[in-house]
């Protein structure tokens, strides 16, 4: 059978962060019309909620294991999803938040499905970043935002602009290179603090943030000094938000050039 003409297809959809509040009508439609649904979501409560929409919801959580490389876990997830697509089924893979943000398996599954000739696409969802802007009252257009995964930020030289917001994701895993752990300790966060100290004073106020996953919850918004981060209670879902510490620096030369263009425009 020609793979391209088979009925197998894949939709990777995001259901947002807060249970039941963020799912879009299109994501719900993909779930309900699928032959099989895979769930890579935050907890068992969300899986039960999905089971109310579809009778065949298969959890991806069992692929995780203590001491097991997450890279191997993601490969196994992709293979489980693709095996049903190859069997000619309409498959919906559901992920919390946005399926394309800090989620390897959806990207790999779509890439592999398309390489094999199947229809595959991603349906966006409300991400932790979206919740962060709303909960903290940040307009990224006002001062600008820099986003980095915490470990990558630590391992590579990045040019930090302290006049903009700095967002570091997965600080609970800061410094992990093994891809096998689900948390690192205070000594690793101290290294992160030392890296940040190149651009920010130790007393600079930072925010530990975690979006609410249930409607009855409130987001975690904890303000502490940067120097206190190693001793803070930090988990894998937590994000570090570093507010600007310097004012925006005017670019005099560019302003002169733009002013000259404005004058020329007014004369036309």
Establish whether 156 is a catalytic residue.
no
**Given 70, 189, 200, 209, the catalytic residue:** 70
Say what the pLDDT of residue 2 is. Answer: 45
Average pLDDT over residues 105-110: 97
Q: Is 74 a catalytic residue?
A: yes
Does 96 participate in catalysis according to the annotation?
A: yes
Q: Catalytic: which of 9, 96, 200, 209?
A: 96
Residue 6 binned pLDDT confidence (cut-offs 50, 70, 90): low
pLDDT at 88: 96
Q: Domain 3-126: what homologous superfamily?
A: Tetrapyrrole methylase, N-terminal domain (3.40.1010.10)
Indicate the pLDDT class of residue 67, thresholds 50, 70 and 90: confident
The domain ranges of the chain are 3-126, 129-242
pLDDT in tens, 217-247: 999 999 999 999 999 999 989 999 999 999 9
CATH class of this structure's domain 129-242: alpha beta
- Ranked by mean pLDDT, the top range of 40-44, 51-55, 175-179 is 51-55
Whether 193 shows a pLDDT value over 70: the answer reads yes
Return the HEC string of the chain.
Answer: CCHHHCCCEEEEEECECCCCCCCCHHHHHHHHHCCEEEEECCCHHHHHHHHCCCCCEEECHHHCCCCCCHHHHHHHHHHHHHHHHHCCCEEEEEECECCCCCCHHHHHHHHHHHHCCCEEEEECCCCHHHHHHHHHCCCHHHHCEEEEEHHHHHHCCCCCCCCCEEEEECHHHCCCCCCCCCCCCHHHHHHHHHHHCCCCCCCCEEEEEECCCCCCCCCEEEEEEHHHHHHCCCCCCCEEEECCCCCCCCCHHHHHHHHHHHHHHHHC
In this prediction, residue 187 carries a pLDDT of 97
């Amino acid at each position: 059978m020609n793979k391209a003409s088979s009925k197998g297809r894949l939709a990777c959809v995001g259901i947002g962060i807060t249970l039941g509040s963020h799912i879009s009508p299109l994501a719900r439609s993909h779930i309900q019309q699928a032959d099989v649904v895979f769930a890579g979501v935050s907890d068992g409560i969300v899986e039960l909620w999905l089971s109310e929409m579809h009778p065949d919801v298969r959890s991806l959580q069992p692929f995780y294991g203590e001491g097991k490389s997450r890279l191997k876990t993601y490969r196994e997830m992709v293979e489980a999803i693709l095996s049903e697509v190859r069997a000619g089924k309409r498959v919906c893979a559901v992920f919390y938040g946005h399926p394309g943000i800090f989620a390897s398996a959806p990207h790999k599954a779509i890439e592999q499905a398309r390489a094999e000739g199947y229809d595959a696409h991603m349906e966006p969802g409300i991400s932790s970043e979206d919740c962060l802007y709303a909960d903290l009252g940040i307009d990224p257009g006002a001062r600008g935002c820099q986003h980095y995964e915490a470990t990558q930020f630590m391992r590579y030289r990045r040019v930090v602009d302290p006049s903009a917001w700095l967002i570091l994701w997965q600080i609970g895993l800061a410094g992990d290179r093994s891809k096998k752990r689900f948390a690192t300790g205070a000594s690793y966060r101290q290294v992160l603090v030392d890296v940040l100290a190149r651009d920010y004073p130790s007393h600079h106020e930072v925010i530990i943030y975690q979006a609410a996953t249930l409607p009855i919850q409130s987001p975690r918004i904890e303000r502490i000094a940067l120097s206190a981060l190693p001793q803070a209670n930090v988990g894998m879902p937590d994000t570090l938000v570093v507010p600007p510490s310097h004012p925006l620096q005017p670019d005099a030369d560019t302003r002169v050039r733009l002013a000259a263009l404005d004058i020329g425009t007014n004369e036309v």
